[in-house]
Structure formats: structure tokens, C-alpha cells
Chain A
Amino acid sequence: MPPKEGKPPRDMPATKTTPPTKTASVRKTVRVSSILSEDLVTIVSPAPEKIVLIESMVRGLCQKKGLGDPQPFLAKVFEREKKISTTLDTGLSLPHNPRTERESGAPAGSDPLSILSNIFASLAVIPGGMADPNEKDIPISVMFLFLSPDRSEFFPMHLQFLRTVAGLFKPALIAEIVKAATPAAVLETIRKAEK
């Protein structure tokens, strides 16, 4: 059959675009003060190495929230730390578990992160500052470590939470909480800031 007039013949393909695949999105987020409790806030002085602090926070979180063996969580958080920085120039460090790349609909198996029901977080205030091996010029003043469900439908919430925490711990709030003497005072300062 001859090609249709005005259209390219079959051996002269015109450019075509692939339809996009889209992820769902949510705009609701979790209040930071609602997932923290006094026992999940620590004031660290003197500052240990970043890796040591992360390990202790993950272990504490697993113990206090009954999440079981901390090893798989630690492995995931360290895996993420090897990638692009989780530290912001405000002095906030945000270690967290990454999203595992799985085929859509593939079973998560026994991965404990995939069966988490919510976000679990722990906060360390470091008044003296702590060096970050990845961002040498930025001393970490606050480390907010969290574990979030590793499921694709939760990823938008995960991103929202990252934005919320980064937006909450602005330099003024960080300056205030590093002065706080107790975890209760830290938590109270955060609550006030979130109002």
C-alpha cells in the first residue's frame, strides 16, 4: 500500500515518545513530635564518630520500638549513607533507609523494612558538633535518624517526611535545641516549633 499523502512512508519513521509512568503522590505528612518520645531523644557529648552514633541510634530504636534484630536496618541505613549525602548545610543529618528497587508488584519477602507499618525515628542532639566524613566542612549539630516502610506506595510519604524534617530543623531551631539541657526540653522546643 502506498504511504498516505503527507505522512512519512513506513521506512521513514517520525519521532514518537514513550508514555510516562507515574508514581502516586500524597501531600500529607507526619508530625515529628508525634513520633518522638523522650526516650528516643539523646544529647550526645562528646560526639562519637558518625558511624558509631548511627549504630547506637538504630540499636536503641529497634530495642525501644520492638523492631527486632537491628542488623538489617543498620545495613540499609549504611547502604544509604554511601550514596548522596544526607547532611544539610543547616547542620542537620538525616540518616534513613533507602527505597529498595524492586520490580513493580514483586514480593518484599522477609525484609523487615517492607513490613514496617509507620515511620520510626530517633533524635540525637550534638551540642559540640560532629564531623561528617562526606561533608567535611559541615559540622552536624542534630542527627534525625528514621526508618520508613520500604514500599513503593509509601515513597511519596517518605519524601514528604524528608522535606518536613528538613524544613523544621532550620538554623534557628537547631540553635535552640543544642542549648536544651534535657531530652524533654528538646522535645518541647520541637513541639513549639511545629505548632
Chain B
Amino acid sequence: MARRPSRRVAEVVVLSTAMLTFISFWRAAAIVLCDMASTAWYIGGIAIQAVGPAAPWFILAVMLFSGCVLALYMEGSSMFVRGGVYKVVKEAMGGTLAKVSVSALMFDYVLTGAISSVSAGQYLAGLLNSIFPHLRIDWHLSPALFSCFFAVAAVLYFWRQNIIGIEESSEKALKIIWATAGMGVVILGFCAYTAATRGFTWPTTELSFSHESLGWLSGSDWPRRIGALGILIALGHAFLGMSGVETLAQVYREMEAPKLENLKRAAVIIFLFCFTLTVSVTFFAVSIIPEGEMPKYVDNLISGLAMHVAAPHWVNLVLQVMVVVVGAAILTGAVNTAIVGSNGVLNRMAEDGVMPDWFRHLHPRFGTTHRMINLVVALQVATIVLCRGDVYVLGEAYAFGLIWSLVFNAASIVLLRFKVRSGREWVVPLNVKVGAVQVPIGLSAIFLILTSVGLINLLTKKVATVFGLAFAAGFFLLFLLAERFNKGKGRGEHREKVNLCNEETVEDVLKHVEKPNRVLVAVRDPNGLHHLARALENLDDDTTQIVVLYCKIQHGMSFGGDIESLGPEEEHVFTRVVEAAEKAGKSVVPLMVLSNDPFYAIAQSAQAVGASEVVLGSSGRINIENQLERLAMTWGALQKADQAPVTFRVVQKGGAEMVAEL
């Protein structure tokens, strides 16, 4: 008997990308904190050397101001899920300035990774050298050499974690931050006890600039005569305390639902953590560490605190070990933040056609943009090897990238207030309505402060200005050449890169589904994904997995063979699917099947994955009733005896929907 021709799914492909992995606000905050909170280990010393014992007041001011900068990033992120300085500046001021701002930022990221890991190595070397005699080991480690090896090892470790994916690297960051929080509670507890028993002295407000801290203004009397100038110079020397803040915008894309709420939570955690740790450490250090001992601990105030809090000597030694170990961990964690942040920034540029498409290739196993991560890590390792453990020059220089990327970002957010008036879910407070225009007072104030500090830093931080301008110009040239090289390669709108995993049957898709409940959302039109947005909005992400089905129709029964790549239409659809998922902060399993009938494909796939609900968008060609009828027929034709009930939901563009339970 001749075989009856059938409607069927011929080929099944599951699409994967690390872009569909989302993390909690705790993890997002931890990634940012690894950089921002690690400055507590060195910012106090740098600021005291530059402006004298009044430094804690300026660190207090900078850390308070970090709340405003976090708010700035929140507004930017509420406009662009894939945001950050590149996107924001490009939208507001165009591609060239966006490349300039990213050049400065990349300089910051590359140097942050290098300096943090080398500093961590130096702390460890110091600790080991002081422990060896107690253990009767006659070794002396060269801090420079040891820190170089340690830094390379730390960078390679986080390189591997980032190749595996953000979930993996954020897990490590979270552990580091918990350890830091524990250490902070213990040290600050001892500090409070010491202040209660020995008394507390508030630091002076008198500024005392060193020759180096005034840079090209050192011959001038202006900083002493003009109070505001002096304050700005002092603030400029404490600004490093905000290093890593851009990463908040980069991890926003990866943040799980409810996205904006989680962004706010992460920002509050980052602010409170940094404020409490960095400010308290600096104030206690000035009060508790004796003046004569200060030079010894100026590069490591927390160690100084550990050794001078009121406690038995052996407790002081234990505290110091804890401070160094945790410090080494958080400083190496800053390497992770730098990799995550710079990978995000480079991704935004590559999506925009600035970087060659080659960089966007996904790791075949982990789905991460491994070539970009390799590039950043290679630059960090090269910096470590070149600096040979001497972090002074680079430490001085890297503030340049931070402050100028912030200035560009602030200017752009202000401009966007007038250029793009809608689409924000959150805005920086203090807006005054004048006629039909909202005047962003709060935003403008942030921009003015940042610009003033940036300009002052140009004059006072010689090394930062010279090296920063040189490195940033280098990066800019690189981006410019890459963009030129990339031009004419037929790049249009951004298309998401995905890995394809061919499966034998639709049932095999279950291997990719972890949650107990499943909803199948059928997609077709890249500009008609309103039903997916609705499904994502209503989804309980903890218990339910959305399987997004795209059915490629092929007539004639000779079709088959593995699908090796996506066509332009499929790429477009799945790009929009990924965008919808990341906007909602909820993961989906994208699935593509080759079939000769879309309704059979939907019913067969939904039954195979055990979907309790099937969601479709209304079609311009077929009315909703006919869609539901055809689904009911194919569902019945394919259903097995023990088939669980299913709900069909057809969602119209306006939001109205028709639901049928079968």
C-alpha cells in the first residue's frame, strides 16, 4: 500500500546563544561591585597622598555623587536594554563621538583589569613574604614578578569563566562580594569598637595638595586661592571610587525580570555597599591609624586598620590575613568586571558594524562572543607584562577613561531628554516644566559636575592626560579602521548570532527545557511579536519555559537534511525574539522546524514539549477563528490518548486576545 503523504516536521533545530541567559540583581550588583568596591583597598591612600588628611570628606562627596551617576545609568538603561555609553552617545551625538567615548572607556577597562590583578598579586606577595619567616621558610618573593604571574593567572581564570558565560562568572563575583561583605562587617565592627573605646577624631577639612597632585597647576596659586577649584581638584583625585559603574549598563541586558525593578535594586545595593565600605574605611583610617604609621599603610588602608584596631595582636594578624585574602579576591574580581563590561561594549559596537563581524562569532559550546573576550584578555595580559608589576603610571592614567566616558554619557542623556521624549521608564529626578519643555535640572547638574572634574583632571593629572589621550587615540584609530574595513560588507540592521543544534525529533527539544511547565509561542513575522511580548509579560519564569517556535515552510516531500545556517528571514525573526526576551529579562528556548504545514508543526511541537499553552499572533491572512479551528483539528489529529488539555491563545496587535481551552 502506498504511503499516505503527511503533514509533518522534517527537521528540528534548537538555537542557542548566551544572550538568552539572565542573572539576578544580586549577581549583577556583585559584578559591578567587584570593581567599584575594590577601590576601597586603594582609593583612600591615593586621595590622602594627593590632598592630605581631608581626603575622607572628598571620598564621601564622590561616593554620594556615585548615587547620581548610578541614576544617570538607570535612565540610560531604561531607554536602551543594550545600552551603555556607546549606544547612548551614538543616539545623542552620533557615531564618531560614540567611538571617542568608547575609546576612553576601553582604556579604562583594559587598565582596570591589569591594575587590579597586579595590585592583588602585590598584596598577596606582601602577605606571603611576611608569613614565610613565621613558618621558617627562607623565601622572599619579588612582589613585581609574583604579581605579574598572579595577575596573568587571574586574568586567564576569569577569561575562562567568561568564555563559559555570565552565569558562571557572576557566580564567582557574588561569592567574592559575600566574602567582602563579611570582611567589611568584621573590620568595621572592630573599628566601631576601637572608636568607642579610644575615641574618634574627625578628619580636617583643610586641603593640602602635594606637588604631583596639582600637575600642570603646581606652579600656580589658584588652587589655594580659589576654593571651588581646590575642591574640584580634590574631587578629581577621589573619582576613581566610581570605576566600574559603566558595567551596570552592560549587565542590564543580562538582568532577569522584572528588569527595571532589578536595576533599581542593583543600583541601591551598589551604592550602599560602596558608600558604607569606602567611606567608613577612609574615615576610620584617618582616625585610627597613627599619623606616623600612615605612610606604611597608605597603599592599603584596610590592612592598616586591621593592624591598629583595639584587639590582641594575634587578632590583628588574623584580620590582616583576611583583609589581604579578600582584597586579592575582590581585586581579581575587578578583572571579571572589566571583561564583562568591555565585552558588552564591544558587542554593542560590533552589532552596529563598527567591529568586523568575525568578532561576533559565538563559541560553539557556550554561545559566548569568545573572540571579543579573547581580544580584551589579550590586551589585559599584554598590559600586565609590559607594566612588569609597576602600577603607578597605569594607576594614574586610568582615571582618564572613567571620567571622560562619564562626561560623554551625561551629556548624551541630557541631549536625549530633548531629542527623544518618550520611551523612558525612569528618569533622573529634579525636572522642572517650563512651558512645553521639561528642563532636566538634576541631569544637567550631574553633567556640569562631571565636566568640571574632567577638565580639571586634564590639568592636574598629567600622566592620565598624556597616556589617556594617547591610548584613547589609539583605540579610536583602531575602531575607525575596523569600521572602514567593515564597510561595504553588506551589513544592514543588526542580526543576532546564534548556534544551531540539530535534533533528531521534536521530542529531543525537551533536553533543552528545564522548567516543569511549558508555553509554546509560534512566531513568523519579525515585526509582529506582540504575542511573544504578552506571553513573556505573563510568564512565571521560575516554573515555566517559553519555547519559541519558528516554522520554516517547505513544500514537496523531498525536503530534509540538517539546517546548517539561518537564512536572512530567520535571522531577523530570531534577532527580534532575543530582543523581546532580553527586554523582559526572561529566557526562551528558540526552536526552528522545517515543515510542510505550520499548524501541524505547531501542534506537533507543542505536544512534543508538553506545552500547556500555545500562543499565536493574529494573522493578516487568516482570521482568528479559522486559526483556532485549524489548530483544534491538527491538535486532535495528532493527540495521543493521554494528552493533557491545552489552552490556545491568539493575541491581536491591539492586545485583545481569544482563548480556547481544549
Complex interface: chain A residues within 8 A of B627 (CB): 84
Give the interface centre of B429, B637, B655, B658 by most chain A CB atoms within 10 Å.
B637
- Report if B432 contacts A (CB, 8 A): yes
- Closest chain-A Cβ to B553's Cβ sits at a distance in Å of 14
Identify the closest chain A residue to B627 (Cβ).
Answer: A84
21 A/B residue pairs, CB under 8 Å, sorted by A: A17-B537, A18-B655, A20-B656, A21-B657, A21-B658, A22-B659, A23-B658, A23-B660, A27-B645, A89-B6, A94-B633, A98-B625, A98-B629, A156-B661, A163-B639, A165-B636, A166-B632, A166-B634, A167-B635, A167-B637, A168-B636
- Report if A33 contacts B (CB, 8 A): no
Inter-chain contact A138/B5, CB cutoff 8 Å: yes
Binding site for A on B (CB under 8 A): 4-8, 421-427, 429-433, 436, 438, 534, 537, 557, 597, 600, 622-623, 625-630, 632-637, 639, 645, 647, 651, 654-662
Binding site for B on A (CB under 8 A): 2-3, 5-9, 11-15, 17-23, 25-27, 80, 83-86, 88-92, 94, 96, 98-99, 101, 137-139, 155-156, 158-160, 162-168, 170-171
Inter-chain contact A25/B423, CB cutoff 8 Å: no
* Dominant secondary structure at the A interface: loop
Inter-chain contact A163/B632, CB cutoff 8 Å: yes
Inter-chain contact A91/B660, CB cutoff 8 Å: no
Inter-chain contact A3/B637, CB cutoff 8 Å: no
- Closest chain-A Cβ to B586's Cβ sits at a distance in Å of 15
Inter-chain contact A18/B660, CB cutoff 8 Å: no
Instruction: Kindly state the separation between the CA atoms of A96 and B429 in the bound complex, as whole angstroms.
Output: 61
Instruction: Kindly state the separation between the CA atoms of A94 and B534 in the bound complex, as whole angstroms.
Output: 32
3 cross-chain pairs, A with B, having the tightest CB-CB distances, nearest first: A18-B655, A166-B636, A167-B636
- Closest chain-A Cβ to B423's Cβ sits at a distance in Å of 7
Inter-chain contact A5/B636, CB cutoff 8 Å: no
Inter-chain contact A83/B662, CB cutoff 8 Å: no
Inter-chain contact B626/A3, CB cutoff 8 Å: no
Complex interface: chain B residues within 8 A of A15 (CB): 423, 425
Inter-chain contact A86/B659, CB cutoff 8 Å: no
Complex interface: chain B residues within 8 A of A8 (CB): 424-427
Complex interface: chain A residues within 8 A of B651 (CB): 20
**CB within 8 Å: A-B pair count:** 144
- Closest chain-A Cβ to B92's Cβ sits at a distance in Å of 15
Given contacts A8-B425, A27-B645, A137-B557, 11 further A-B contacts (CB under 8 A): A3-B431, A8-B426, A12-B427, A13-B422, A19-B655, A94-B633, A137-B5, A138-B4, A163-B635, A167-B635, A170-B637
Instruction: Kindly state the separation between the CA atoms of A89 and B634 in the bound complex, as whole angstroms.
Output: 9
Which of B422, B426, B657, B660 contacts A20, CB < 8 Å?
B657
Identify the closest chain B residue to A85 (Cβ).
Answer: B630
- Closest chain-B Cβ to A146's Cβ sits at a distance in Å of 12
Inter-chain contact B623/A159, CB cutoff 8 Å: no
Which of A11, A14, A20, A163 contacts B633, CB < 8 Å?
A163
Give the interface centre of B600, B647, B658, B662 by most chain A CB atoms within 10 Å.
B662
Instruction: Kindly state the separation between the CA atoms of A2 and B437 in the bound complex, as whole angstroms.
Output: 11
Complex interface: chain B residues within 8 A of A23 (CB): 658-660
- Closest chain-B Cβ to A85's Cβ sits at a distance in Å of 7
Instruction: Kindly state the separation between the CA atoms of A168 and B355 in the bound complex, as whole angstroms.
Output: 58
Inter-chain contact A88/B633, CB cutoff 8 Å: yes
Instruction: Kindly state the separation between the CA atoms of A9 and B428 in the bound complex, as whole angstroms.
Output: 10
Identify the closest chain B residue to A22 (Cβ).
Answer: B659
Inter-chain contact A89/B438, CB cutoff 8 Å: no
Give the interface centre of A13, A27, A84 by most chain B CB atoms within 10 Å.
A84
Inter-chain contact B433/A7, CB cutoff 8 Å: no
Which of B421, B426, B622, B636 contacts A163, CB < 8 Å?
B636
Give the interface centre of A8, A15, A155, A156 by most chain B CB atoms within 10 Å.
A8
